[in-house]
Amino acid sequence: MSVNCVIGLQWGDEGKGRIVDYLAQKADMVIRFQGGDNAGHTVVNEKGKFGLHILPSGIFNEDTMNIVGAGTVVNFDRMHSELEEIEKVTGEKIESVFIDERAHIIMPYHMALDGAEEGKRSESEKIGTTKRGIGPCYQDKAARCGIRAADILDEETLRKKLSALLVKKNRELEYYGLPTYTLEELMEKAKGWREEFGNNIIDTNPAVREAVEEGRNILLEGQLGIMRDNDWGIYPYSTSSNPTAAGGCNGAGIPPRAIDRVYGVAKAYSTSVGGGPYMTELFDETADKLRAIGHEFGVTTGRPRRCGWFDAVACDYACWMNGVTDVCLTKIDVLDTFETIKVCTGYMIDGEYYSHLPETRLQERAKPIYSDFEGWMEDTTGCRKWEDLPEKCRTFILELEKLIKTPITLISVGPERDQLIIREK
Ligand code: GDP
Ligand code: IMO
Ligand code: MG
User: How far apart (Å, rounded) are the C-alpha atoms in residues 196 and 1?
Assistant: 34
- Residue 315: the pLDDT is 98
> Domains in the chain, please, with CATH?
2-100+203-262 (3.40.440.10), 104-197 (1.10.300.10), 265-422 (3.90.170.10)
CA of 348 to the centre of ligand 3 (A): 30
Query: For residue range 207-256, what is the model confidence (pLDDT) as tens digits?
Result: 999 999 999 999 999 999 999 999 999 999 999 999 999 999 999 999 99
Residue with CA nearest ligand 1 atom 25:
414
Report how far ligand 2's centroid is from the alpha carbon of 269 (Å).
18
SS3 186: helix
Query: Of the candidates 300, 283, 380, 273, which has an alpha carbon nearest to the alpha carbon of residue 337?
Result: 380
Q: Which comes out higher in pLDDT, residue 425 or 381? A: 381
From 21, 37, 41, 104, the catalytic residue? 41
Across 29-36, average pLDDT? 98
The mean predicted confidence, pLDDT, of the chain is 97
The arithmetic mean of pLDDT across residues 348-360, rounded, is: 98
Q: How far apart are CA 219 and CA 84, in angstroms?
A: 24
303-332: burial string, b at 16+ Cβ within 10 Å, e else:
eebbbbbbbbbbbbbbbebbbbbbbbbbbb
> What does the pLDDT look like over 357-388, one tens digit per residue?
999 999 999 999 999 999 999 999 999 999 99
Residue 93 binned pLDDT confidence (cut-offs 50, 70, 90):
very high
Residue in 11, 14, 16, 18 to alter for ligand 1 test, most ligand atoms within 8 A of Cβ: 18
Three-class secondary structure of residue 126 per DSSP: coil
Q: pTM to 2 decimals? A: 0.97
Is residue 41 annotated as part of the catalytic site, yes or no? yes
Q: Which ligand sits closest to the CA of 223?
A: 2
pLDDT, residue 300, reads 83
Residue nearest to atom 6 of ligand 1 (CA): 13
> CB–CB of 420/411 below 8 Å?
yes
Question: What single DSSP character describes residue 406?
Answer: S
Instruction: Note the pLDDT tens digit of each residue in 180-192.
Output: 999 999 999 999 9
State the ligand closest to the CA atom of 14. 1
